[in-house]
Each structure stands twice: as structure tokens, then as C-alpha cells.
């Protein structure tokens, strides 16, 4: 159960060409932040073992190639998200500085099981509260807020706060920001 003292999970991805210093930077960040470090090679080796295959160079290469074929260049991200128990369905777009509260559900199939999958787009700076459900094909506008427990069935305009089942606009994000500042200034 989350407590008010817990911080949101921070995920930092370090990418680059072979020999560019990814390992050095990643290890330093992991130590500085006291955070776990996941390395593509480790994740692939773990997948080889999970499949019950001998840990050989050929099996590692075969599994890495198959994972990249299935998940694209973001294969390590898919494996990492599975480890973190986060499910981001295919077609989902999450831009910079987005906050996803615990147990957010993102769907990509409006009428399951369907052959048509429509991703959700979550634009820059959006805040999605705990236990919110985002229905396939919608867009959460830039700097908007989805209140906890909401079910979002339609696009959320930028800078709006929505709440409810189904979610409806309740006020502009400026009101939310004032309320947050007021809440943060109160001592428990």
C-alpha cells in the first residue's frame, strides 16, 4: 500500500552506441540514486533462462533478435515494464513529464477482442490519478488532470481537470494548481 512518504518511481533510460559510456553513466546514476539498474544484456539472459534454454551465445542472440522482432527497438523497455508490473498497451503514446498514479489502466481495444487497436495518447505534463481508466483511442491533453477513479471515454482538452464515471470537465487546471499549493502549505 502506498504511503504519503513514498515517491513516484523514476525510470531513466540510457541509450547510445557501443563503447559510448552507457555502462559507466548507468552505474553512477544507479549508485547516486540508490536505484536498481537493468541492463539489456541481463534482461535478455534472464529471458533465455526463463525459457529453459542453455545460456549460450547463440541462444542469447536468438532470443534478443526475436524480442526485437516482436517488440521493436524498445524490447528492453517492454521487458523492464513487465518486471515493474506496468502494462502499457501497444499504440500508447506517453509524452514528457507525465504522472501516472498507481493502478492506472490504459486500454487499446474499445470492443475486445477486436482486430482494431487504438492507442491512448497522453500529452506532455498530464496527470493521471490513481485507479483511473483510459479507454482506447482517447487523447489526454497537455497539462490536463484526470482525477483518481475516473473512467475517461472521450478526449480531455488541454489544461482541463476531469473527474467521474464517465469523466467530465470540472474546472481548469489553474484551479487544481491553486488547490495543490494550498494543500501542500498545510501541515499534517
pLDDT in tens, 56-102: 989 988 988 888 888 776 676 667 766 666 678 888 888 878 888 88
Look at phi and psi of residue 91 and say left if phi exceeds 0, alpha if psi is from -120 to 50, else beta.
Answer: left
SS3 72: helix
**Span 169-180, average pLDDT:** 94
Domain coordinates in residue numbering, the chain: 22-83, 93-185
CA Rg value for the chain? 20
pLDDT band at 187 (very low <50, low <70, confident <90, very high): confident
Cα torsion 103, 68, 73, 38: sign: positive
Residue 95's pLDDT is what? Answer: 83
pLDDT in tens, 3-43: 444 455 566 777 777 788 888 888 888 788 777 777 777 77
Q: What is the pLDDT of residue 83?
A: 67
Instruction: Say what the pLDDT of residue 82 is.
Output: 66
pLDDT band at 105 (very low <50, low <70, confident <90, very high): very high
Distance CA 60, CA 35 (A): 26
Please determine, for residue 142, whether its predicted confidence score (pLDDT) is greater than 90.
Answer: yes
pLDDT value for 99: 86
Predicted local distance difference test score (pLDDT) of residue 4: 43
What was the pLDDT predicted at 7?
54
The CATH classification of domain 93-185, taken from the options 2.160.10.10, 1.10.10.60, 3.40.50.720, 3.30.70.20: 2.160.10.10
| Residue 3 confidence (pLDDT) | 41
Mean pLDDT of the 166-175 span: 96
Amino acid at each position: 500500500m502506498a504511503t504519503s512518504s513514498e515517491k513516484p518511481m523514476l525510470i531513466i533510460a540510457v541509450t547510445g552506441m557501443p563503447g559510448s559510456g552507457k555502462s559507466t553513466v548507468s552505474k553512477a546514476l544507479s549508485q547516486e540514486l540508490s536505484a536498481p539498474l537493468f541492463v539489456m544484456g541481463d534482461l535478455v539472459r534472464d529471458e533465455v533462462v526463463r525459457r529453459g534454454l542453455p545460456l549460450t551465445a547463440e541462444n542469447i542472440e536468438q532470443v534478443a533478435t526475436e524480442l526485437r522482432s516482436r517488440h521493436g527497438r524498445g524490447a528492453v523497455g517492454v521487458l523492464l515494464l513487465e518486471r515493474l508490473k506496468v502494462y502499457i498497451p501497444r499504440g500508447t503514446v506517453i509524452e514528457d513529464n507525465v504522472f501516472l498514479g498507481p493502478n492506472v489502466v490504459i486500454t487499446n481495444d474499445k470492443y475486445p477482442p477486436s482486430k482494431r487497436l487504438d492507442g491512448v495518447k497522453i500529452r506532455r505534463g498530464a496527470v493521471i490519478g490513481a485507479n483511473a481508466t483510459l479507454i482506447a483511442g482517447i487523447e489526454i491533453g497537455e497539462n490536463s488532470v484526470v482525477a483518481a477513479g475516473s473512467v475517461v471515454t472521450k478526449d480531455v482538452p488541454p489544461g482541463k481537470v476531469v473527474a467521474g464515471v464517465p469523466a467530465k470537465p470540472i474546472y481548469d487546471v489553474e484551479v487544481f494548481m491553486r488547490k495543490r499549493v494550498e494543500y501542500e502549505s498545510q501541515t499534517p
